[in-house]
Structure 1
Amino acid sequence: MLRNTITKSLSRSPIPLVGARNASIAADIFLPLKYGGKYTVTLIPGDGIGAEVTESVKQIFKADNVPVEWEQVDVSGLGASTDGFKESVASLKKNKVGLKGILHTPVERSGHSSFNVALRQELDIFASLVLIKNIPGVETRHSGIDMCLIRENTEGEYSGLEHQSVPGVVESLKIITKYKSERISRFAFEFALKNNRERVTVVHKANIMKLADGLFRKTVQDMAAEYPTLKTNDMIVDNASMQAVSYPQQFDVLVLPNLYGSILSNIGAGLVGGPGLIPGCNMGREIAVFEPGCRHVGLDIKGRNQANPTALILSASMMLRHLGLDSHANRISKAVYAVLAEGKVKTPDLKGTSTTSEFTKATLDKMESML
């Protein structure tokens, strides 16, 4: 089934939620089919805290009788075998939708590209959406933050084209194409239009990389002419980084090349409470993969029952809205926000002492009280 407007990413509930106001993601996407009244969803727990936070999602979905069956693929960015990666690609091509933790890629590894990047390139899930908004109950320096980062996922500095010409000289190619710049630009403008946003800011370094970033910037500016009701401006990435920490309330929708999107999404996460709170998704023409908006794998706390599962739970709620399961999505997200607002159950990243299991139980208790 083809739908022009998908993924009501966060609900119309009066409770302040992360992300777009009446959020939907604009793209032409084939939604998965139901089998026996249930959707089959690819589940990739990932490395680090992945198994723990995906277990939280499983428990919550089971308690709410969500009509989703998991097709779990255990692939690791740490392993040498690519069999799991091939299996995950095949599963996502079949199911069209997935929920994913973060796959770790060690810095010191040579000759191996990031499985996270490879998955996006292989499946052409070209648009990354990260939703950054203050959450009641989470104390931060700034209030009034409500921005959406839309990042091109498949080229730029993450093209993976590097070689050593001679010992001590490395050439790394940054690829920017008009076609992919147009594609992500339209995605950003359509998202802004359909979600009652007012401004799109293109982030670039065109003052130095005049051809590559110049093309990206000009493509977004040219596209803006088709959306006269939206304001459009541009900002150099180093200034955008400073502005984000000094006056983040000025930003609405940002559209960025790959590397800048990664940097700004992490800055944004730090502003509203950290990576454990930030939901996100990666969208293509046929496949949607939902995962935390910041790529923090949490190897240092793996197995300690300390991880904050909020980011993955909210990403899973976005996935439910993509599937048209709004009532489940609303109940789950409202419960999570209620737990955070009360502030009685807080994981260590929020300066609390509660465990992952305790946060999950508190969410389940809230959901039960809403019935």
Structure 2
Amino acid sequence: MNKTIAVIRGDGIGPEIVGETLGVLDAVAQKFGHTFTYKEAPMGGCAIDEFGVPLPDSSLETCLASDSVLLGAVGGPKWDAQPSANRPERGLLKLREAMGLYTNVRPARMFPDLSAACPLRSDIAARGIDFVVVRELIGGVYFGQHTTETVDGEQKAVDIMSYTEHEIRRVAHVAFQMARKRRKRVTSIDKANVLDTSRLWRKTVTAVAEEYPDVELLHMYVDNAAMQIVRDPSQFDVIVTENLFGDILSDEASQITGSIGMIPSSSMGEGARGMYEPIHGSAPDIAGQDKANPIGTVLAAAMMLRYSFDMAAEADAVEAAVDAVLKEGWRCGDIMQGGGKLVGCREMGRLIREHI
């Protein structure tokens, strides 16, 4: 099978973790007889430096013409002085919107061999951490109107959050369909006691739930959800929520598994094409030092193989290779514990390729 992958190396540690992940994909291609063609698509701070904008038209065209997109990470303090509309993150938002990627899926699973790295009490961790956050991705306050003006001698900023029924309905269907393949429980997160958007969210999700009588639906306020994720994460199966809440809660969920560097994500819309990335940032403080953990990006590539390319066996091979490397005790700095064997980004990539 021949597949074209748009590659966004991005900023900070992005080029390092993407480079190792491409090596893993090459190993998969060789083992299973596929051909993966990589097309470079600069985006983020590096694109600002070269083209003056975070997402050049040429990069957007490359992504839209590809079978899927692999992204490292974008942004960093170097570009903090950029106008709001030209910050690196704006390129990412524009790309999500252009590709119609309305659903972001972030699994939170604790690897058994990393249980010692979990910051929760051992009795809580022992109950297990294995849930998925389904986040609406191209609506809400991130895509609302943003204004700053001077009123009565002081600055006033306004960010508008809005949602329509169809935006909520389509991401709710994703969550319920996913729950059917898991433990058949959906927890919808909102702030319906305060926000009109959340009241619409709750009403719409409840209506969608009627189409899935075999799936249990629970509602939870976002502040309580933030507490429950650290009090008893085992209660969750599939969480569905809006853009801002999902951004925050999925980062919290990733940290309780041991390290944010281990968590992949997929962004999907209609059809098979998606964008795959780790959920962490560009970590400019360790960029170029061979200290980054590529596993989150490698597992994102496994999600690409599974969901966009329908290559289940290939995805299983990548995930099994990661499990094997961890079981042998190899660790990057962010997951290093006593008794582990410390390796850098390049060596971790090599070890995973070797197991494939």
* TM-score, normalised with respect to structure 2: 0.87
Matched, 1:196 2:196: no
* Cα separation, 2, equivalents of 1:172 and 1:224: 30
What code does the residue aligned with 2:8 have?
I
| Residues matched between the structures, number | 327
What code does the residue aligned with 1:236 have?
Y
Change (3 A) 1:192 1:239: same
Specify the SS of the correspondent of 1:69: strand
* Cα separation, 1, equivalents of 2:313 and 2:207: 39
What code does the residue aligned with 1:123 have?
M
From 335, 353, 358, the equivalent of 2:347 is 358
Report the CA distance between 1:170 and its aligned residue.
1.3
User: 1:178 maps to what in 2?
Assistant: 165
Matched, 1:151 2:135: yes
What code does the residue aligned with 1:336 have?
V
User: Superposed, which structure 2 residues align to 1:120-131 within 5 Å?
Assistant: 120-131=96-107
From 52, 72, 93, the equivalent of 2:40 is 72
From 52, 59, 84, the equivalent of 2:16 is 52
* TM-score, normalised with respect to structure 1: 0.84
* Cα separation, 1, equivalents of 2:209 and 2:321: 38
Change (3 A) 1:77 1:183: farther
What code does the residue aligned with 2:206 have?
Q
* Cα separation, 2, equivalents of 1:97 and 1:78: 21
Specify the SS of the correspondent of 1:291: strand
User: 1:61 maps to what in 2?
Assistant: 25
Report the CA distance between 1:305 and its aligned residue.
0.4
Q: Percent identity?
A: 29
User: 2:60 maps to what in 1?
Assistant: 89
Q: Which is further off, 265-274 or 159-168? A: 159-168
RMSD of the alignment, in Å? 1.7
User: 2:72 maps to what in 1?
Assistant: 101
Report the CA distance between 1:107 and its aligned residue.
5.0
* Cα separation, 2, equivalents of 1:124 and 1:366: 35
User: 2:246 maps to what in 1?
Assistant: 261
2:74/2:281 contact within 8 Å kept: no
Specify the SS of the correspondent of 1:45: strand
User: 1:11 maps to what in 2?
Assistant: none
From 71, 85, 92, the equivalent of 1:116 is 92
User: 1:31 maps to what in 2?
Assistant: none
Report the CA distance between 1:135 and its aligned residue.
0.4
* Cα separation, 1, equivalents of 2:175 and 2:266: 14
What do residues 15-67 of structure 1 show as CA deviations (whole Å, max 9, x unaligned)?
xxxxxxxxxxxxxxxxxxxxxx4111111112111111111112222233142
Report the CA distance between 1:134 and its aligned residue.
0.9
What code does the residue aligned with 2:200 have?
L
Which segments of 5 or more consecutive residues in structure 2 lack a partner in the other structure?
none
Q: Which is further off, 175-184 or 54-63? A: 54-63
What do residues 66-97 of structure 1 show as CA deviations (whole Å, max 9, x unaligned)?
42111121222354323753222211211241
2:44/2:92 contact within 8 Å kept: no
Change (3 A) 1:250 1:85: farther
Report the CA distance between 1:98 and its aligned residue.
1.1
Answer 1 or 2: which has greater helix percent.
2
Which segments of 5 or more consecutive residues in structure 1 lack a partner in the other structure?
1-36
